[in-house]
Amino acid sequence: MKKMIIASTSTIHGSGYLEYLLPTLKVFFVDVKTILFIPFARPGGISYDEYTEIAKNAFSKIGLDVKGIHEFENPKEALQNAEAIFTGGGNTFELVNQIYKTAILEEFKAVINSGTPYLGTSAGSNICGVNIKNTNDMPIVYPPSFNTFKSIPFNINAHYLDPVEGSKHMGETRETRIKEFHVFNETPVLGLREGSWLEVLDNKITLKGKLTARLFQQNKKPIELESGVEVKI
């Protein structure tokens, strides 16, 4: 049975890394001692060691240890033996590029689908969907494929932003970009606002946090989903 938390972000305004999620994660990882961390997204270009240390400091607050997947000689075995897995944010294209480069995609999907607890934030959430075509990131590298886990039957647009009334910004809104996507693609997209997350228990997907999320489907008007509802496609 899948057991996942898919969060829009690791950090909300005025809060430390993962701080807003720690009470939830303490319960979610109740039977876990060590988390396998996937640092491939490298926010700001930091090293895997630096990123792993950030995750380790956060989880130490709830009594959990963290080991980076790059610390293991065999990443496939590391995934297969993991008590739990966390993939952090950063650049989604580079994250997916390294997943393909290390040839761990199938093992990654398999352990998640078999019930290894999984936490994803930002880029680590984007990979839970059908593909990464709705990431906000720059394509700094070209992965072999945009296809990812398909653990949920829709894509995530993390850090979803609503238009700001009175703004003089002339660029496209997130909603406009997603409408462009739906000219050529059928995959639904969930705009996940900062501080919101999805709880996935097997095939039941529930929106959590204080905010609504915006669901986009091809040839349909976007709808707002209230926190606490099951996301059904």
- Provide the pLDDT confidence category of residue 170 given band limits of 50, 70 and 90: low
Residues identified as active-site = 122, 137, 159
**Mean pLDDT of the 90-114 span:** 98
Convert the pLDDT of each residue in 5-50 to its tens digit: 999 999 998 899 999 999 999 999 999 999 999 999 999 999 999 9
Whether the pLDDT of residue 129 is over 70: the answer is yes
- Provide the pLDDT confidence category of residue 166 given band limits of 50, 70 and 90: confident
Rounded-to-integer distance, Cα 53 and Cα 68, Å: 9
Whether the pLDDT of residue 66 is over 90: the answer is yes
- In eight-state DSSP terms, residue 141 is S
- All structural domains of the chain, each given as residue ranges with its CATH number in brackets, are 3-163+170-225 (3.40.50.880)
Q: By the 8 A CB rule, do 195 and 12 touch?
A: yes
Rounded-to-integer distance, Cα 186 and Cα 42, Å: 30
Convert the pLDDT of each residue in 133-162 to its tens digit: 999 999 999 999 999 999 999 999 999 998
Reported as type and span, the H/E element at residue 201 is strand 197-201
Whether the pLDDT of residue 163 is over 90: the answer is no
Rounded-to-integer distance, Cα 54 and Cα 64, Å: 13
Rounded-to-integer distance, Cα 182 and Cα 217, Å: 7
Query: Of 181, 120, 128, 179, nearest to 150 (Cα)?
Result: 128
Helix (H, G, I), strand (E, B) or coil at 78: helix
Reported as type and span, the H/E element at residue 108 is helix 105-113
- In this structure, the number of other CB atoms found within 10 A of the CB of residue 79 comes to 23
Question: What is the average pLDDT value for the chain, to the nearest integer?
Answer: 96
Which pLDDT belongs to residue 172? 81
